[in-house]
Chain A
Amino acid sequence: MDYSSIIAKHIASIPRSGIRDFFELVQGRDDVISLGVGEPDFATPWHIREAAIYSLEKGQTSYTSNLGLLSLRKSIAKYVSQFFHVDYVAEKEVLVTVGVSEAIDLALRALLNPGDEVIYHEPCYVSYSPSIVMAYGKPVTVVTKKEDGFSLKPEAVAAAITPRTRMVMLNFPTNPTGACATREDLEGIAKLCIEHNLIVMTDEIYSELRYDGEEHLSIAALPGMRERTILLHGFSKAFAMTGFRLGYACAPQPIIEAMMKIHQYAMLCAPIMSQNAAIEALENGTPSMEKMRDSYHQRRDYVVKRLNDMGIECHTPGGAFYVFPDISKFGLTSKEFAMKLLEQESVAAVPGNAFGECGEGFLRCCYATGFDDLKLAMDKIENFISKL
């Protein structure tokens, strides 16, 4: 059977993920020090795991409301109000999803008509462009540059706006660069969105992981933006809960209602044990989160210094747990560099172009790895480049 003819054209058009290629190379090797992951190295704090176990012991194993447990939505509304300084009504403006990934898919499918353009910034998380395509939208890339610390400049957004633009997608701190947005840049972007009547979808998944004492600012908190912003957040990074698969969307009720239509038929609801764990995370998890954040902060300082000292130019990211060093001067492509590093030194890091073409010449290294391994990885990278 000719399967190529039976796969939907817009799905067939999506290229294979660069991360997947690399993953297959690493798979099955147990001698690898991996800087290639996109998740915390901590297990979920025990008090959060214990809350999930307790809920199972009590027999809480049913479906929940499509929107999610009301008690969780109330906790979310309270947390979002305190952390992002934006108020949402728990009963109708909060939707609990299976990770932010599902929420992105829901928002795009709920708002895009075929051919609508969505502006997003690269290098970025691998799902953005494919998710837009899967929702029949047209991805419009804005390149962020090393010289700007990979921040998104309003002028660059303005240049990408056309009459078909419907939405702008933001992710600060950014995976893979760790870039953060300044108030000034966000205000510039907000002004454009209001002028051109655009919706903003902001993926805030790394927002707790800000360093150097900087307070996080979401575009949703700027004047006039709440009504046109879909704020997406989750538990994976801040509370080390990746496997719980839990996220949420906060937005004005008509948008949540539209997203909920898809969610109720495609997913029904997020798993109840994860929802119960999430309540514990929001109500009592801040001290555990701060402890993990401080640990990432220390490791960031160590890795940035080591890379720069050995002659690999690496900007200091303000958030997340990635560094995105520039390896272009070694005369290898990102992929060649990563493959050789894996072959010769058994250190895995992801080629920068897996996060968009403009990531070529860079490498994503995740420093959410035990300090001893991190140190060994840095020694090995230093050894590797000394032979190039």
Chain B
Amino acid sequence: MSTDPLLELLRSKARHTHQELAEMLALSEAEVRARIAAWENDGTILGYHAVVNAELAGDVDVQAFIEVKVTPERGGGFDRLAMRIARFDQVVSCYLASGGYDLMVVVQGADLREVARFVSERLSTLDGVLSTATHFLLKTYKENGFLFEGETGVQRLAVSP
């Protein structure tokens, strides 16, 4: 949650036009444009993408969540190894987490074999990686705030007092 209402609006729907954003926040269009440009420049906003229901889109790719235990390095902690893993194209997301493992790596591949190969050949062989546990994704219920099976929605009367 950000305290900036402009950033909040973009987070929920990046496709608002500058004009709409300006009207909703009582700012000028130029101001909206300038602030967004500044965020894009300083890396606050990294990019924009559609949240897609892969099943409806007919995607055949598979995704896996991989728990990775690693040996932290003196001086750098987990960062160097985590960034090394994150740079692979197959890695969709990579997080450092507390608990039973260190890194949660989300990997995407054309099929099970491709993901398995990436884990066995690229991930586990890295110096510092102690162990991995791979969990294949079976079904998505919610992603980035969007429910995949929508509710029926509010059925309001068209006119009410």
Contact = CB atoms under 8 A, between A and B. Distances in A.
Given A39-B156, A43-B151, A298-B9, A17 B26 contact: no
B24 A23 contact: no
B2 interface: no
B50 interface: no
A301 B160 contact: no
Interface stretch (A26-34, A134-142, A191-199, A224-232): A26-34
Given A37-B156, A43-B151, A127 B20 contact: no
Contacts, number: 63
A125 B161 CA distance: 7
A84 interface: no
Contacts of A294: 5
A139 B9 CA distance: 45
Contacts of A371: 16, 20, 24
Interface in A284-320: 294, 298-299, 301-302, 305-306
Given A41-B154, A43-B151, A298-B9, A305 B160 contact: no
B23 A42 contact: no
Contacts of A127: 161
B58 to A, nearest CB: 26
A40 B160 CA distance: 11
B44 to A, nearest CB: 20
Contact of B158 (A26, A126, A298, A354): A26
Among B24, B25, B153: residue with most chain A CB under 10 A: B24
A365 to B, nearest CB: 12
B159 A36 contact: yes
Interface in B96-127: none
Contacts of A42: 154
B2 to A, nearest CB: 12
Nearest to B151: A43
A306 B24 CA distance: 11
A125 B151 CA distance: 31
Among B26, B160, B161: residue with most chain A CB under 10 A: B161
B24 to A, nearest CB: 4
A133 interface: no
Given A43-B153, A298-B9, A23 B23 contact: no
B151 A23 contact: no
Contacts of A175: 161
Nearest to B154: A43
A34 B159 CA distance: 7
A23 B153 contact: no
A298 B159 contact: no
Interface in B117-161: 151, 153-154, 156-161
A126 B161 contact: yes
A305 B23 contact: yes
B20 A302 contact: yes
Among A27, A37, A306, A375: residue with most chain B CB under 10 A: A37
Given A298-B25, A305-B23, A23 B158 contact: yes
B23 A37 contact: no
Nearest to B147: A46
Contacts of A37: 156-160
Contacts of B24: 298-299, 301-302, 371
Nearest to A49: B151
Among B16, B20, B151, B156: residue with most chain A CB under 10 A: B156
Contacts of A301: 23-26
Nearest to B21: A298
A5 to B, nearest CB: 30
Interface of B: 5, 9, 16, 20, 23-26, 151, 153-154, 156-161
Interface of A: 17, 19, 22-23, 26-27, 29, 32, 34, 36-43, 125-127, 175, 294, 298-299, 301-302, 305-306, 348, 350, 354, 371, 375
19 contacts: A19-B160, A19-B161, A23-B157, A23-B160, A26-B158, A32-B158, A37-B156, A38-B160, A38-B161, A40-B154, A41-B156, A43-B151, A127-B161, A298-B25, A301-B24, A301-B26, A302-B20, A305-B23, A306-B23
Given A22-B159, A39-B156, 8 more contacts: A19-B160, A32-B158, A36-B160, A126-B161, A298-B25, A302-B20, A371-B16, A371-B20
